[in-house]
Amino acid sequence: MTPEDSLRSLSLDYLNLLINGQAFSDVTFSVEGRLVHAHRCILAARSLFFRKFFCGPDTTQSGLDPLRMGPGSGSPRGHSSQVIPVNSVGYEVFLLMLQFLYSGQVSIVPQKHEPRPNCGERGCWHTHCTSAVDLALDTLAAARSFGVEQLALLTQKQLASMVEKASIEDVMKVLIASRKQDMHQLWTTCSHLVAKSGLPPEVLAKHLPIDVVAKIEELRLKSSLARRSLMPHHHPHHHDLGAAADLEDQKIRRMRRALDSSDVELVKLMVMGEGLNLDEALALHYAVENCSREVVKALLELGAADVNYPAGPAGKTPLHIAAEMVSPDMVAVLLDHHADPNVRTVDGITPLDVLRTLTSDFLFKGAVPGLTHIEPNKLRLCLELVQSAAMVISREEGNASAPSSAAIYPPMGDQDHGSSGSSGAGNIAAGGSLNLDSRMVYLNLGAQIGGKLSEGEGSSSQRETMNRHDMYHHHSHDQY
């Protein structure tokens, strides 16, 4: 077992303590009328705030509230049966913070397709809607209040990715929060987005403080002067930069409307006749997230878009988006057109890492409400497709060994030989055997989730999944 595997196993073991509730717990919190059982030694080791709280005098009647507590407020070690009220954060955010303290990792995004009170869109995946932004902002405030700086940094990166596609109203909310929290990088990102929005000062003043509006206008002026200085002096008609920016925005809106209506021919005409840059317009990212597989395939066949183009501050490629969506169709068509499964985001995350994290989350949170939207067969197929493509590339590069795989659970010996998922997967790798990731996904997703479905439905879904994967596998050898 590698050091990375050991750390991942340790992280899951600690998180399992939190998930199992009262097992070995010695402290109980009450948040929005719901009880949360935890462990003092873990919280104190991971948070200076909790360390001071548990070592202080017995003043829990005031509640666990970092905004109102004085130094030394807390509960004595001996009163383990006492329920400590939490007044400063909601249940969802408090649980997210505890998950991070226990495991060092957490997903700060609402569950896909889960109804949210501040998101009225049907079937929304909550990647950048108001619900997702609000949850991230609440988590950021809690992380700062309780002194969990690593979680605050993680949430800041999440917000920087969200605001690229969020509504301008939500961007302004993040802008105000970044100003209060002294997060300069997030402030810069949001202020530039607000400046590019074109909203007049009188509209901005309804949402932002006057001094912030003044800074936005100053930023617009500097940007305009900088662009004019780059213009050739013998072309005076280029001085209207605002009109040029508006024209580009109109092109992007027309392009997206064309993709929504599956009119790829119009997009082709815009590329040839109007000089539309599909990469800068993030056409492929938009199509993967919002359109059908046929539209994405037709767009790729134009040959005008880079299938590995990184977008936004996070540097996600279309394959990263498809992996986050758990869409086997999108993953397959992108890999079929030479998407690189090994490309990394700014934070060093590959599409394979995304799918491994989703699989890990599903395995040890499968019984937690809100995760029923994940379809195990689709998740399993996506992971296999990306792994198979990575293995093909590895062989072509002359690497005899497959890419390193991190086991979600320790190997289970020969137990997999009797499972239908394992036997059906024998054709995936060229050598006739599954690598560790695929093997564990079959054992855990296939076996555990089979209990949630009827026996007939489970076996039928597995056969369909394997048939679709075999079709892609034979085709991928011709493409790479």
Share of the chain above pLDDT 70, in %: 69
Q: Which residue has the higher pLDDT, 105 or 15?
A: 105
Q: Categorize the per-residue pLDDT at 276 as very low, low, confident or very high, splitting at 50, 70 and 90.
A: confident
176-185, 224-233, 454-463: which range is least confident on average? 454-463
Residue 324 lies in a domain: no
pLDDT at 172 over 90: yes
pLDDT tens digits for 321-365?
A: 998 888 899 999 999 999 999 899 888 889 988 888 887 776 765
> Last residue of a domain, which of 39, 72, 106?
106
Residue 416 has pLDDT above 70, yes or no: no
Using the 3D structure, point to which of 106, 129, 158 is the last residue of a domain.
106
The domain boundary, picked from 106, 127, 157, lies at 106
Mean pLDDT of 440-454: 40
- For 22-65, what is each residue's pLDDT tens digit? 778 889 999 999 999 999 998 998 888 998 888 876 544 445 66
281-318 pLDDT, tens digit each = 888 998 998 899 999 999 999 888 899 999 877 889 99
Select the more confidently predicted residue: 434 or 318. Answer: 318
CATH number at residue 88: 3.30.710.10
Tokens representing 110 are 């609402």
Does residue 64 sit within a domain?
Answer: yes
Residue 31: inside a domain: yes
User: What does the pLDDT read at residue 402?
Assistant: 43
Residue numbers of the domain that contains 373: 340-479
pLDDT score for 355 = 84
Q: With respect to residue 330, please indicate whether it lies within any of the assigned structural domains.
A: no
Q: Looking at the domain assignment, is residue 294 inside a domain? A: no
Q: Is residue 419 part of a domain?
A: yes
Question: What pLDDT was estimated at residue 229?
Answer: 53
Assess if residue 80 is contained within a domain: yes
Confidence label for 457 from pLDDT (cuts 50, 70 and 90):
very low
Span of 176-190, 372-386, 388-402 with lowest mean pLDDT:
388-402
**Which of these ranges, 123-137, 269-283, 324-338, 430-444, has the smallest mean pLDDT?**
430-444
Segment among 73-87, 105-119, 212-226 with least mean pLDDT? 73-87
Q: What is the 3-state secondary structure (H, E, C) of the chain?
A: CCHHHHHHHHHHHHHHHHHCCCCCCCEEEEECCEEEEECHHHHHHHCHHHHHHHHCCECHHHCECCCCCCCCCECCCCCCCCEEEECCCCHHHHHHHHHHHHHCCCCCCCCCCCCECCECCCCCCCCCCHHHHHHHHHHHHHHHHCCCHHHHHHHHHHHHHHCCCCCHHHHHHHHHHHHHCCCHHHHHHHHHHHHHCCCCHHHHCCCCCHHHHHHHHHHHHHHHHHHHHHCCCCCHHHHCHHHHHHHHHHHHHHHHHHHHCCCHHHHHHHHHHHCCCCCCCCHHHHHHHHCCHHHHHHHHHCCCCCCCCCECCCCECHHHHHHHHCCHHHHHHHHHCCCCCCCCCCCCCCHHHHHHHHHHHHHHHCCCCCCCCCCHHHHHHHHHHHHHHHHHHHHHCCCCCCCCCCCCCCCCCCHHHHCHHHHHHHHCCCCCCCCHHHHHHHHHHHHHHHCCCCHHHHHHHHHHHHHHHHHHHHHHHHHC
Start-to-end CA span in the chain (Å): 32
Average pLDDT of the chain is 74
User: Which amino acid is present at 371?
Assistant: L
- Tell me how many domains the chain contains: 2
91 inside domain: yes
For residue 318, the model assigns a pLDDT of 93
Rounded Cα gap, residues 16 and 364, in angstroms: 7
180 has a pLDDT exceeding 50: yes
Instruction: Find the range with the poorest average confidence among 2-11, 266-275, 448-457.
Output: 448-457
375 has a pLDDT exceeding 80: no
The pLDDT score that the predictor gives to residue 474 is 43
Query: Residue 319: what pLDDT?
Result: 93
